[in-house]
């Protein structure tokens, strides 16, 4: 009886998967995501650096740009002009985190094979599914939330600096009351989480799949196949349906009926048509397939 108990205990210690079964899934996922943040500090350092540079530029030119009373503009017109700077800050930060997400996905699974750290991580009681899913959470959820938080903080600092400059120059703060900040921030949250998270999910899933498969030059393997498909379609059929589909997927988060009327998506967020469209759900299904493939590849791929 004692020998049988010792065998069971030893098998549990020897098997990371068996040991991982004793750790709650949420706890394993939490520490896996935290590990990604620790190892990839550019996730938050890059947008913070861009936000700091933007605030510096805003501060340098704010004394001149905020003196709009002399230009004969009404309060509403002044608020409209100033709102464009708010939207520019959001666009710059969203563009930064989108680029960060692309490069993160390309390096996420290939990097651990290149530096052979995959041998250490596979010795821990964390399954391949949890590892790949934690890496997918970074561009799908963590980066959008981080983008919103940094954009919110940046715009609050811009608002505070604007109020100080307006008061120091003897101007009224009435212009700031027309910015519709509450509606703008709700729209921004919807746009960032829905657009840069869920709508771009197939792109991130494909890049993670390439990262799990490619032994060398993952960036080229991520770019060349879509490019080859587009060129081949053009040569054979003289059409560009694939390029149009890919372009609409990339630009889809920033395209809405509101854009045609000159209202930025920072106010109205992601339109409901995006979430109700078949392309949205097909994209999520494609993302799930790519992540499943990445899990299978990581399970059988060793160090490069």
In whole angstroms, give the CA distance from residue 293 to residue 286: 11
Flag whether 16 is in a domain: no
Reading the block at residue 127, the tokens are 């399954």
Q: Given this model, what pLDDT does residue 11 score?
A: 44
Helix axes of 241-251 and 201-213: crossing angle, nearest 10 degrees: 110
Question: Taking the model in full, what pTM does it have?
Answer: 0.80
Q: Given this model, what pLDDT does residue 170 score?
A: 67
The Cα-based distances of 278 to 139, 173, 248, 257, 284 in angstroms read 22, 46, 14, 18, 10
Flag whether 4 is in a domain: no
Flag whether 256 is in a domain: yes
180: left (phi over 0), alpha (psi -120 to 50) or beta: left
Q: Which residue has the tokens 């938080």?
A: 149
In whole angstroms, give the CA distance from residue 204 to residue 16: 28
Please count the structural domains in the chain.
1
Flag whether 14 is in a domain: no
Flag whether 169 is in a domain: yes
In whole angstroms, give the CA distance from residue 39 to residue 42: 9
Flag whether 136 is in a domain: yes
Please work out, in degrees rounded to the nearest 5, the angle formed at the alpha carbon of residue 109 by the alpha carbons of 106 and 114.
100
Flag whether 17 is in a domain: no
Domain that residue 93 falls in: 22-300
- Give, for all 304 residues of the chain, the pLDDT tens digit: 444 444 444 444 444 454 445 667 778 888 888 888 888 898 999 999 999 999 988 887 776 655 555 455 566 666 677 777 888 888 899 999 999 999 999 988 888 888 788 777 777 777 888 889 999 999 999 999 999 999 999 988 988 888 777 777 666 666 666 677 777 888 888 888 877 788 899 999 999 999 989 888 888 888 888 888 888 988 888 888 888 888 877 776 554 444 433 445 455 556 566 677 787 888 899 999 999 999 998 888 767 6
In whole angstroms, give the CA distance from residue 304 to residue 193: 35
Flag whether 72 is in a domain: yes
**186 near 196, Cβ under 8 Å?**
no
């Amino acid at each position: 009886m004692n020998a049988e108990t010792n065998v069971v205990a030893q098998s549990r210690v020897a098997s990371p998967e068996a040991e991982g079964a004793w750790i709650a899934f949420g706890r394993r996922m939490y520490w896996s995501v935290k590990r990604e943040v620790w190892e990839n500090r550019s996730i938050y350092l890059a947008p913070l650096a861009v936000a700091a540079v933007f605030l510096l530029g805003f501060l340098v030119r704010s004394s001149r740009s905020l003196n709009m009373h002399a230009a004969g503009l009404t309060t509403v017109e002044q608020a409209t002009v100033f709102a464009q700077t708010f939207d520019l800050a959001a666009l710059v930060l969203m563009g930064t985190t989108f680029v960060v997400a692309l490069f993160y996905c390309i390096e996420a699974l290939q990097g651990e094979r290149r530096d052979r750290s995959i041998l250490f991580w596979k010795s821990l009681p964390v399954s391949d599914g949890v590892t790949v899913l934690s890496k997918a959470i970074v561009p799908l959820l963590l980066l959008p939330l981080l983008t919103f938080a940094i954009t919110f903080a940046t715009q609050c600092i811009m608002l505070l600096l604007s109020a100080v400059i307006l008061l120091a120059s003897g101007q009224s703060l009435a212009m700031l009351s027309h910015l519709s900040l509450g509606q703008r921030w709700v729209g921004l949250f919807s746009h960032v989480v829905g657009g840069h998270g869920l709508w771009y999910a197939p792109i991130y899933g494909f890049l993670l799949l390439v990262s799990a498969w490619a032994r060398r030059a993952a960036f080229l393997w991520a770019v060349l196949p879509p490019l080859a498909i587009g060129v081949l379609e053009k040569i054979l059929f003289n059409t560009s349906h694939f390029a149009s589909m890919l372009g609409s997927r990339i630009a889809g988060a920033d395209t809405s009926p509101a854009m045609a009327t000159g209202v930025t998506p920072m106010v109205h967020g992601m339109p409901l048509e995006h979430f109700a469209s078949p392309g949205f759900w097909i994209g999520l299904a494609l993302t799930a397939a790519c992540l499943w493939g990445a899990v299978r590849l990581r399970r059988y791929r060793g160090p490069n």
